[in-house]
Each structure stands twice: as C-alpha cells, then as structure tokens.
Structure 1
Amino acid sequence: MAPSADTNSSPHNCPRRILLVSVPRTASNLLVRVLNVHNQPNVLTNELAGYFFLKPFLMSSREFKKSPHEWTAAERALVREAYQNALGALEDLAARAEREGKTFFIKEHATVIVNPDVADPPRDAGHKPELDFFRLPLPERYRSSSSSSNGAAAAAAGTFSPNNHTILPDEYLATWRIVFVIRHPALAWPSIYRTLHQLVERGLLEEKVLRVDGGSSMSLKWTRAMFDWCVERSQAEGDFPPPVIIDAHEVIHSPGAVLQFCQAAGLDPAALQFEWPTEDARPKKSEETAVDEESRRIFLGTLMASKGLIKDKTPATVDVEAEEVKWRAEFGDEAAKMIAEKVRDSMPDYEYLRARCVLG
C-alpha cells in the first residue's frame, strides 16, 4: 500500500498525533529506535514512547493471575479505573504537546487496548460479555460542541463500529494518525515464548501464567481488525489518512521502506538512524521496580546491547517446518507443538497485512 500523499492532515482539526500499533516481538522498539523518535525535531513522547495502557493489561497476569472472564466485580472495577487513569495520563501529555506545538507520538500493542471482554470472552456460551463496561468515554475535548442535551450522553459514550474492538471510541481513534508494524509469526511467536520462559525461570512470572497466556497477546487478528477499521474510516472520511504498515523484515533490510514509512507517518526522515551506542549500562528508571527492571532487560536485551541493525534476526525467507525442528530442540515437543499451532493460526492475518505493507 502506498503511503498517503498528505502526511500533515489532522482529522477533525485535532493536533498531530501518531499511534504506532504493534504486538510483542515485532521489532517495534527497534523501529522506534530507527525512527529516532526521542530525537525527532518537534516531537513529544514519554520515556517509553508509549505503553500507557500496559499496566491495566498486565493486572490479569501479575496481580489477578487469571483470565479476564474470571475477574471479580472489584477486580473489573480496578482494571476499568486503571484504563481510565492511563487515558488521563496520555491526554495530559498530549495536551502538553499541543501547547508546545509538537507532534505527539506513542506506541501501543494492539491487544493492550482491546476490550478485555472481547479479547477473552466468557467460556459459558449462555453468559454474554459486558462490552460496555471497559469502553472508555470520549474525552470531553473531542466531543462535538453542537451536541444537544439529549445527545450529551451519546456523545460522551462515543461510537464503537464493528471493527473497533478497543476500549477507545471511534471518534477518539480518529484523532490519531495510525500506523502499524508486523513480523512473521514463525519469528515472533518463539521469541515471545522464549522471553516469557526466561521470566518464569527467574521467578518473575508464574508457570501458570505461561501456560494460560502462552503469548496470547501475539494474535494478529486485533491488528488486522484495527487496520481494517482505519481503511473503512479513510474511505468514509476524506480527512482521515489511510493506514500505513511495515514489516520487521523491511525495518531491518530495507532503508527505502523505512523512509517511506517515516514520511507517511509524518516524521522527519533526516532524523533516521541505523547505528547507535549500546545501552548495557543504562540506569534503572526512577519509578521502576526490580521486577520491572529485570523484565525490561529481558525484553529489550538484544536491542540494548546492539549498535545497529542485526540482519540475521529476520531472514528473508522463513521455513516454518524447519523452524519447528529448532523449537523442539529448544523448548521440547509440547511447547514446539503449541508454537507451531499458533504460528499457523496467525498466518492468514499476517499474509493479509503483509500484502498491504509499504513495499507490498
């Protein structure tokens, strides 16, 4: 898919805002590094370049240690409050970017912003999920000033069209320039399993969580639905730009694709970087717990120790059957079988999205 020619349009006259949607182990942090987001001229982001909604998402594994459909009413309320607080913190920084006349950039994993009742519905077919419970109201600054008193409640609730499975209303998503990064499932799935297994070995994650989750956040169906939502919105609204998507292989092997992606997202190509100093000695963040610090080092270890692009991490061709042999040797037969099943289940969504990347 060719990038939009108009990279400066802002839907509904909202400030420039870029949302990079990913899933874990798709080289999204590498892409942020290559785009040099923290040193882009006239761009504002936080230290992590996003992840505002990660805390409520992690509650199920770190605190509740069970699936969302098993949460108590009190636990559901805590997650709902955490999502609302995350949106408030995000909007506070977005407001600062607007005051300073800067573009606001964040990255979020697709599953992190998916409605928990959609991502993991009740197993009992007779019990319908309460989809409205986790749907956040549209922040007041984005509501239409022409709404009548009778329409105020509807304006506050916002709209959730069929392909919007997130906690955020259509009207709010439409204030963002939404871009995507993907990676071949046969590379991404074993990577997340390997990472989660390291967390288990170090006592940072319970074995039960690894068995229950097993990388469920890796599903590309939510990315595909959000991509399709963007396409539909672009076709219906002339001022909403079409989505742009890049594959991790292009990030590593094709500077031209990165350039196209950068321009389509509305960032400055002159700031792109393909080499950088290592971060092995990076100090612990002020509000980071020991668990958070160790988890960060496990998830970002390769990137932190690198000085540039490591091309053998993403080969040009991927033979799933050959990779499965490697998984059996590394993880054992049971885990390898699970990974292979997940990879094959993910391939239709991956191939759909891959065909629509900047280089097709």
Structure 2
Amino acid sequence: MSAKPIFVATHPRACSTAFERVFMTRRDTLVCEHEPFGDAFYYGPERLSERFEKDPEAREQSGFSQTTYKDVFDRIEQDASQGRANPEALHYPYPLIHVRLNRPDHSASLAFIGQRSKARKTCRLTPAMTHKQDKRVFIKDMAYYLMPPVADGSDKPTTIAPSLLKEGNHHTTATTTTAPNGTRRSDVSETASSGNPTVVPLAILEKYHFAFLIRHPRRAIPSYYRCCVPPQSEVTGFHHYMPSEAGYAELARLFDFLRARKLVGPANARDGEQAAPGTGEVTITVLDADDLLDKPREVIEAFCRETGIDYHPDMLSWDDPENQRYVSGVFAKWNGFHNDAINSTKLSARTTAHKTLTVESENEEWRRKYGDEAAKVIRASVDENIPYYEYLKSFAIKV
C-alpha cells in the first residue's frame, strides 16, 4: 500500500469540499491542504489563467502576486514538517492582505495576515512529505491549476514552471519567450517531460498518490456558472464564466498521463483489484459525486481502503465547535464557493432521488435562472465536457 501524500484531483463543483471535510476530521493523522495551487495559477508571476490578467490590483491585493508554484510546494512541505496547516496565518511567507474585491467597500474581505520575512525560508521537496509524527499530507485541488488552459483558445505550450526547474532536474534554454503573465523573460524552461501536460516536473508528480473526484457536467457546470454571475459573483470575485475553468479536459489529460506513466494503475479499484504488494503501486481510484451523495459511508470507506487511511464512521460527522472554527478559516480562502460545506455538520445519504431530466427541461431551467444567452453557454459547456466525464466515469469505484 502506498504511503505517499495524497492528491485528490478534481474539477469545480464536484462536491469536493464536502468530501474534503470528511478528512479534515482526521487532523490526528492527516495534514489537509485546501486548493493550494490556485494562488500561483491565478495571481503569481507564473500564472496561467487569464482571469485576473487585466486586473493587477486584484492580483496584488489577493496577497499571492509573488507566489510561484515552488512557493506552494514549499508551503505544503512546511505544513507537513509542522504536522498541521495553519488556517489563521494561511502559512504564506509574504505580507498578505487577503482581499477578494468582492464587496463595494471590501470591508468584509480584508484580513491582515503577516509581515514579510527578510530571510524567507524554503523547504526542500522530500519524497514522503510526512513529518515527525507520521502525519500524511492530503491535498484536494483542481487539476486545471497545474496546466495551461486547454479550452480558452490560447493554445499555450506546456513548460515546466521556472521555479520548479531545480526540483525536476531540467535545464534552461537561452531563449526569450512571452511568459503566461505577458512579461518577457529569458532562460525559460524547456518543454515539460514528454507527454506531461502540467507545469510540474514528473519528479514531483511521482511523489504523490493520486485519486480523482468527478461529477456530471449537467450538475457541476450550472453550479459553477452561478458562482460567476451576480449576485454570487459579488462574493466570489469571479465576475464572468470561463468555459476553460470547467476542468474536465484537464482532469482527463492528467489522468491519462499518470496512467501512462504507471503512477496510477494498472490495478483498478472499480473492479476490486488490489495493488501489487510491496510495489508502492497506486490503484486507479475514481469517485463519482453522485455515488458519494447516495452512499457516503461506502464511498468513503472504499476510498480509505485504496489510499491507506484508517477509516472510522465518525469521520462522517463534524458537528463540534473546534471543527467548525477550523474549516471556516481554511475555506475563507475562496470566499463564496464553499458556503454549503462550511455550514454542514455531517455527510449523510441524500433522501430525495434525482429528477429525470431531459435536454429540453435542463435548457428551460437554465433559461429561467440565467437568461437565453447564458443557457446557450451552459449547454455548450455541458455538452463539450460530457465525453470527458463519461470516460473518467468508466473507471469509477462501484459500491
């Protein structure tokens, strides 16, 4: 059984934060990292997203404008060495004023974080990423945060993030190109390892135990769209819907690459196969959010079995002040996206069955909620991503 740090790769609105809450109850054995790579993806000098490209004030006031991908990995390693993630300080080595620019006066968004250290410490990435008390890192994040968007028409080539060159033992090339953030830079990285769709070297990726969480686009994409338009966008700070952030294509690309490199598989948890003993092999572990909502105990127990986490039934309940305070601090990072998870007290099976939906009824619902043009955008995005979902679904655990 693999003892590597766990990386649950997903896409937006896949019930992943509710899933994550289960494992936040195990702070005795796990160090949970909540969506850490969005800092570099959206705001930092190596940013890959266009969302805040024309809004330097938002990038600066986010507190992450200097955050590189290496900084994120260093933060994770620092948390592992200390045995805990610090939601109050957000464990960032910069002078952070955490502002989402999501209210007219920004008053509810301000949170003073800390002072710059003149001698900022960095942590070498170690294979196990476990600390003295044998706590294991548990990351939940979007797969698309690790790679250039594949659906925004930009067709960016994938190169290793410059800050991670040393970790990947890559060499720089004496060329000048346009960086993702639009600035000119020399001595950029060579292209990523053959077939690697991410900006993270294979040498780092192979240190993680990857699992995957998916949800049908007809449910995830309208939910994400709602977060990107008024009134919810005034809270989230995401003021328009970007189809490239649906995240299914990137998740499928990451899955295929890891599978081709045997970082997951060939054993498939779906079929009850077991990883070869003593090999450190990682079974293909794909979870579907609908299964999670219908049979939470069975799905969580199966996931724990495949990832080597000691399962306890009380992981499904967190109705106590300590847990609530902890998650409120952690989830405040992405304000407005996680309200349901913050206010929840347990993960229990839903009691109402899904309605039988048709394309026509879906379109009508979206038109009623968001208007004709928005409904067309949602429909196009849903239809584009169904093949990726169905492909990944074919590997999903059966419970």
Q: What is the aligned partner in structure 2 of residue 101 from structure 1?
A: 134
1:132 aligns with 2:159: yes
Answer with 255-264 or 221-230: which moved more. Answer: 255-264
User: Per the alignment, in what secondary structure is the counterpart of residue 21 of structure 1?
Assistant: strand
Q: Displacement of 1:108 after TM fit?
A: 1.1
Distance 2:352 2:261 in 1: 35
Aligned mate of 2:14, from 26, 30, 37? 26
Equivalent positions of 1:1-360 (< 5 A) are 8-10=1-3, 16-34=4-22, 36-39=23-26, 41-45=28-32, 49-59=33-43, 66=50, 82-96=68-82, 97-115=130-148, 120=152, 122=154, 129=156, 131-132=158-159, 134=161, 136-137=163-164, 140=167, 153=171, 160-198=192-230, 202=234, 205=237, 207=239, 210=240, 213-234=241-262, 239-254=280-295, 255-270=297-312, 273-277=315-319, 293=332, 296=335, 298-308=336-346, 309=348, 311=350, 315=354, 318-359=357-398
Specify which structure has the bigger relative contact order, considering alpha-carbon pairs within 8 angstroms and separated by 6 or more residues: 1
Using a 3 Å threshold, how does the CA distance of structure 1 residues 64 and 100 change in structure 2: closer, same or farther?
Answer: closer
- Alignment RMSD: 3.9
User: Per the alignment, in what secondary structure is the counterpart of residue 141 of structure 2?
Assistant: strand
Asked if 2 retains the 8 angstrom alpha-carbon contact of 1:158 and 1:169, the reply is no
Distance 2:390 2:315 in 1: 28
Q: Displacement of 1:287 after TM fit?
A: 8.5
Deviations 1:1-22 (A, max 9, x none): xxxxxxx235xxxxx3100111
Asked if 2 retains the 8 angstrom alpha-carbon contact of 1:233 and 1:240, the reply is no
Q: Displacement of 1:169 after TM fit?
A: 1.0
Q: Displacement of 1:120 after TM fit?
A: 4.8
Q: Displacement of 1:301 after TM fit?
A: 1.6
Q: Displacement of 1:64 after TM fit?
A: 11
Q: What is the aligned partner in structure 2 of residue 148 from structure 1?
A: none
Asked if 2 retains the 8 angstrom alpha-carbon contact of 1:115 and 1:134, the reply is no
Distance 1:294 1:91 in 2: 19
Distance 2:391 2:40 in 1: 30
- Give the letter aligned to residue 261 of structure 1: F
- Give the letter aligned to residue 174 of structure 1: E
- Give the letter aligned to residue 301 of structure 1: N
Name stretches of at least 5 consecutive residues in structure 1 with no aligned partner.
1-7, 11-15, 124-128, 144-150
Deviations 1:214-253 (A, max 9, x none): 3531130111111112222226996441331100011111
Q: Which has the higher helix share?
A: 1
Using a 3 Å threshold, how does the CA distance of structure 1 residues 164 and 263 change in structure 2: closer, same or farther?
Answer: same
Using a 3 Å threshold, how does the CA distance of structure 1 residues 33 and 139 change in structure 2: closer, same or farther?
Answer: farther
Q: Output the TM-score relative to the length of structure 1.
A: 0.72
User: Per the alignment, in what secondary structure is the counterpart of residue 101 of structure 1?
Assistant: coil
Q: Displacement of 1:203 after TM fit?
A: 6.8
Using a 3 Å threshold, how does the CA distance of structure 1 residues 184 and 214 change in structure 2: closer, same or farther?
Answer: same
- Give the letter aligned to residue 114 of structure 1: M
Question: What is the aligned-residue identity percentage?
Answer: 23
Distance 2:24 2:329 in 1: 22
Name stretches of at least 5 consecutive residues in structure 2 with no aligned partner.
83-129, 173-188, 267-275
Asked if 1 retains the 8 angstrom alpha-carbon contact of 2:215 and 2:288, the reply is yes
Asked if 2 retains the 8 angstrom alpha-carbon contact of 1:43 and 1:104, the reply is yes
Q: Output the TM-score relative to the length of structure 2.
A: 0.66
Using a 3 Å threshold, how does the CA distance of structure 1 residues 204 and 42 change in structure 2: closer, same or farther?
Answer: closer
